[in-house]
Structure 1
Amino acid sequence: MTEITKEASQTVTVSLTSNYHRHHSIFSLTVKESRPILTLTSSSQASIEIDSLHEDLDFYSTITRTHFEETNADLFRSTLEPVEKALRDAKMDKSSIHEIVLIGGSTRIPKVQKLLQNFFHGKELNKSINPDEAVAYGAAVQAAILTGDQSEDVKDLLLLDVAPHSLGIETAGGVMTALITRNTTIPTKQTQIFTIYSYDQSSGIVTELVRFDPKNLTKQTETMATSSNKQFGVDIKVFEGDHSLTRDNHLLGYFTLSGILLVSDSVPQIEITFDIDENGILNVSAMDKTSQRENKITVTNDKGRLSQSDI
């Protein structure tokens, strides 16, 4: 797209001065440029013909499959990265794959198919499913299973959903401490115990948490021994992401657990539970095991979905 746009811009350099006309022309080029790409999946050369690209100027050009593949070589090679990642996440080897199904219109590009086939040591690619319809087909099957459809097409299928990213809280040093790791099958429920690492003496607000370790309580005991407060509050920050630091992950929400009791010669134990259901709805709760005080938050997985009124 960039190279063709550059060529088109050179053709109409003088005329494409205003932002409106420039953006309008590039939009027209973008829409029409997908046609030669489709042509190159079955032909060695494609023509680009755009009448009235701008005012009374027409644009004509040709592109060969060889030039197209050379120009996009880095992009095509990058398509193997998610394939490698999927194998690592599944803890599987290339030889364990029974079928290689192509999904998405770009998998029609011969160079992409060749790279993929070479990656799997020459294994034949499965082209029996329309790549433009594969995702929609899979979504329809999942919808049928979730709604309890008992038809012959889906009754023997078991479809397991997973958490696409790790889910956890922020602990001392801004560290992302995951309770549910990426690719965990859902629904799932995980609980861990945390304790106070540092706090604001004047406000009694806990500033950092760490995992509770009964074998190593020296730091936590010292923290509590110097406190003049008998109750604490803590902000539980819930994050999604796979980076080691929360600043690089996505904040889903936060809530405050107040009334954490300080008992002499003991360390507070805060039980945090992540519970995610089959619909991807996440419930996070925190409870002080001494006072039994509890608070929670619900995070819904509705980003990008249509509302009832939209439907």
Structure 2
Amino acid sequence: MAASLGLYFGGTSACLALHKDGKTSVIANDAGDRVTPAMVAFTEKEQLVGLSAKQGRARNAVNTVTHVKQIIGRRYDDPVVSFVNQNHPFKIVDKSGEPMYQLEMADKHYLKSPLEVATLIFKKLKETAEDQGGYDEEDVVLVAPVDYSSEQLNLLRTSAEKAGFNVLRIIGEPSAALLAHGVGQEYPSEQWNVLVYKLGGSSLSVSILNVNNGIFRILATETDRTCGGDQLTSLLVESCAKDFKRQWKVDVNESKRALAKLYNTCENCKHVLSTLPTASGSIDSLHEGIDFSTSISRAKLDSLANSHYQKAVQPIRTVLEKAKMTSADIHKVVLVGGSTRIPKLQQYLKSCLPEAEVLNSVAPDEVLAIGAAIEAAILTGKDDEEIELKEDDLHLECCSKNILVKVIGTDGEAELKTAIPKLTYFPVKKQHDFKVNKGQTSVCLHVYEGDNGAIDTATLLAKLTLADLPTDTEEELNISTVFHFKREGTLHVSCSEATSGKIESLTIGHEDLEESDEDDDKPDEPAS
């Protein structure tokens, strides 16, 4: 029987799962690891992807790039890009507003786009599927954050397709997590409120979903990109650097290479401490020819990271407030991300949600890939015994960002008004009415996409002009605009004026949301 693939592409790691003969399993890479580092190292002679790039990071830190998931599809001035740029040894530069990785080799600078780097990682995963699993399947379902913009989703799809995958669908991370655990499938008539807690290497996201009759509805979500497993590792690095300086009177922070070596060792210790009470590490010639060895207890990690744990559970309270729920309303908790293995953090989670059942039977760093593989099997109809769901029973698509319209406020300044709120489910139809001044012959509707109402951070999707408006009326004209988000993810916008019967419309496809600038040469008068 043919196989179906599910792929999770994270900020620090990636995972590929296979569904075949009613079973889902993770495909190990050429090193035997079930999770592959999502990083690429560039040298003058070759490009290293995955574990080989991670192993050489100490020697080639400036040319070893990571966190592509956070960078792809964003503008250079995005705060997320700035945060990544400030906290990692590689350099991100501005090229016409787009962030680019700057490489330094042989006294020359080279630029690589996030799309190119993502494609290399996807190619590595494609090779893993072919070499280790012996499968040449191309059909794959990808997993993405629910707050990914249309451009980010398109670039994620493009990079996977350039690597040789045929992307069947991109599903949200919370939906994939629930699919992996079979939530709502064994007893479809029952209704659950499920909190998906994802703490990966580079970010934290918490979502609440309602599961009813096999349909997943996202009620609220919260993301913190300053809280992740990387920060826990950095706390260990800082502590070990102080111990080294106290013992040898030498500062490790003076050497980027020494810091990279120390970071790798502390990261390994952190992973060990998730299952064992103590972890040890040793580094030959850490700095200035001095060897370093350390033994770290779980109690020490918990002491260093106590404030970090408290910060990591704060979004739970925030997302409960957004959903207008209490902890007693949550029936189940799904853990996602390798950092959720930490026992002390699990205690904090349990104290926040004491009545909820914690689902962690699936490895938290593999759960999203497994859920995506199950989705791929459903879409391709390759498992009619184990999976009886129909495609439309899995989840409902929703807006990743607010759909906004530019209006003129009472102070005469342009501002954005929400036409369709973020996380609204498809299909949906909303109407927005406004007045135009007497004697005004045309009006131009500006449609934006954004997280909030700030014009400088929103993306212009389209302009729709309604021209030749009647001027012989004594009253202000009423303009009616209808926004119709269809099931397949396209946005249909119509603008009409009842007196004259004038009407204009356009459709914005999810694959070309930013190509609607054909009205630039028409009058550019925003709605009032």
Deviation readout 1:88-144 (Å, 9 max, x if unpaired): 455544333333222111110011100111111264522211111111122223334
- Residue 442 of structure 2 is matched in structure 1 by 232
- Residue 298 of structure 1 is matched in structure 2 by 508
Instruction: Write out aligned runs for 1:203-218 (5 A).
Output: none
Aligned-residue offset at 1:285: 1.9
What is the alpha-carbon distance in structure 1 between the residues aligned to residue 509 and residue 304 of structure 2? 43
What is the alpha-carbon distance in structure 1 between the residues aligned to residue 264 and residue 286 of structure 2? 12
TM-score, length basis structure 2: 0.44
Instruction: Write out aligned runs for 1:140-289 (5 A).
Output: 140-147=373-380, 151-156=384-389, 158-161=393-396, 162-173=398-409, 174-185=414-425, 187-196=426-435, 223-224=437-438, 227=439, 229=440, 231-241=441-451, 243=452, 245-247=453-455, 249-259=457-467, 261-263=469-471, 264-266=473-475, 267-278=477-488, 281-289=489-497
Matched-pair contact (CA < 8 Å) for 2:434–2:480: yes
CA pair 107-15 structure 1, distance change in 2 beyond 3 A = closer
What is the alpha-carbon distance in structure 1 between the residues aligned to residue 420 and residue 400 of structure 2? 10
Aligned-residue offset at 1:168: 2.4
Please give the secondary structure, in 1, of the residue aligned with 2:307: helix
CA pair 78-153 structure 1, distance change in 2 beyond 3 A = farther
| Percent of residue pairs identical | 23
Please give the secondary structure, in 1, of the residue aligned with 2:442: strand
Choose 161-170 or 109-118, whichever is displaced more: 161-170
Give yes or no for the alignment of 1:2 onto 2:212: no
CA pair 15-111 structure 1, distance change in 2 beyond 3 A = closer
Deviation readout 1:222-247 (Å, 9 max, x if unpaired): x31xx3x4x21314131222x3x223
Choose 168-177 or 133-142, whichever is displaced more: 168-177
- Residue 24 of structure 2 is matched in structure 1 by none
What is the alpha-carbon distance in structure 2 between the residues aligned to residue 123 and residue 31 of structure 1? 35
What is the alpha-carbon distance in structure 1 between the residues aligned to residue 252 and residue 337 of structure 2? 37
Give yes or no for the alignment of 1:61 onto 2:294: yes
CA pair 148-16 structure 1, distance change in 2 beyond 3 A = same
What is the alpha-carbon distance in structure 1 between the residues aligned to residue 347 and residue 507 of structure 2? 48
What is the alpha-carbon distance in structure 1 between the residues aligned to residue 319 and residue 511 of structure 2? 22
CA pair 256-71 structure 1, distance change in 2 beyond 3 A = same
Matched-pair contact (CA < 8 Å) for 2:236–2:301: no
- Residue 44 of structure 1 is matched in structure 2 by 277
Instruction: Write out aligned runs for 1:96-115 (5 A).
Output: 96-115=329-348
CA pair 26-181 structure 1, distance change in 2 beyond 3 A = same
5+ residue gaps in structure 2?
1-232, 514-528
Please give the secondary structure, in 1, of the residue aligned with 2:502: coil
The CA RMSD measured in Å over matched residues stands at 3.3
What is the alpha-carbon distance in structure 1 between the residues aligned to residue 507 and residue 356 of structure 2? 48
Deviation readout 1:243-262 (Å, 9 max, x if unpaired): 3x223753252324141513
Please give the secondary structure, in 2, of the residue aligned with 1:43: coil
- Residue 308 of structure 1 is matched in structure 2 by none
What is the alpha-carbon distance in structure 1 between the residues aligned to residue 376 and residue 321 of structure 2? 27
User: May I ask how many residue pairs the two structures share in their alignment?
Assistant: 265
Which of 119, 123, 130 pairs up with 2:363?
130
Please give the secondary structure, in 1, of the residue aligned with 2:467: strand
TM-score, length basis structure 1: 0.70
What is the alpha-carbon distance in structure 2 between the residues aligned to residue 50 and residue 260 of structure 1? 76
Please give the secondary structure, in 2, of the residue aligned with 1:125: strand
Deviation readout 1:125-174 (Å, 9 max, x if unpaired): 22211111111122223334445566233323732233343322233345
Q: Which has the higher contact order (CA 8 A, sep 6+)?
A: 2
Please give the secondary structure, in 1, of the residue aligned with 2:361: coil
- Residue 316 of structure 2 is matched in structure 1 by 83
Give yes or no for the alignment of 1:29 onto 2:231: no
CA pair 93-164 structure 1, distance change in 2 beyond 3 A = farther
What is the alpha-carbon distance in structure 2 between the residues aligned to residue 130 and residue 29 of structure 1? 27
- Residue 70 of structure 1 is matched in structure 2 by 303
What is the alpha-carbon distance in structure 2 between the residues aligned to residue 269 and residue 302 of structure 1? 26
Aligned-residue offset at 1:284: 4.3
Matched-pair contact (CA < 8 Å) for 1:261–1:268: no
Matched-pair contact (CA < 8 Å) for 1:259–1:293: no
CA pair 57-184 structure 1, distance change in 2 beyond 3 A = same
Bigger CA radius of gyration: 1
Deviation readout 1:193-226 (Å, 9 max, x if unpaired): 3324xxxxxxxxxxxxxxxxxxxxxxx5xx31xx
Aligned-residue offset at 1:69: 1.6
Aligned-residue offset at 1:192: 1.0
Please give the secondary structure, in 2, of the residue aligned with 1:102: strand
